[in-house]
Amino acid sequence: MHGYVLKGVSGLQLVAVIRKVHSGQAIVTAELFPQLLIDARERKIRLTPGHEPLSHREQQVLQHVSLGLSNKEIAELLGLRLGTVKQYIAHLFKKMRVRNRIEAVQTWKNHGAERVKRDI
């Protein structure tokens, strides 16, 4: 990957990024850079040996799911788009090998909720 921009980038910015990437430069928009730094530092927590590790953001989403919040409420609290929250939840289900929110919360509470809450 040589360039990354957010969905809401203007057409002019997108053209400029495409040209720079085409010329061999690596580009990350200024709006995205702080999040990349956070993502690079975030710790991953593995609920059980068989599960893939959960990112910090996935842990946050899961904690809000465990409180019974809707996807829309989670999106508003975390400053995310509704579609992004839905993607996080789908990834959580896959990583945790569960079929629904109830199973996800039960797995989380049985295998690390207290540890995760302290770290969020």
Handedness of CA 61, 65, 68, 70 (dihedral sign): positive
pTM of the model: 0.55
Say whether pLDDT at 21 is over 90: no
Please name each of the domains of the chain with its CATH number.
1-41 (no CATH), 43-120 (1.10.10.10)
Judge residue 27's burial from the number of C-beta atoms within 10 Å of its C-beta, 0-12 exposed, 13-18 middle, 19 or more buried. Answer: middle
Are the C-beta atoms of 112 and 88 separated by less than 8 Å? no
Over residues 91-117, the pLDDT tens digits come to 999 888 889 998 888 888 777 554 444
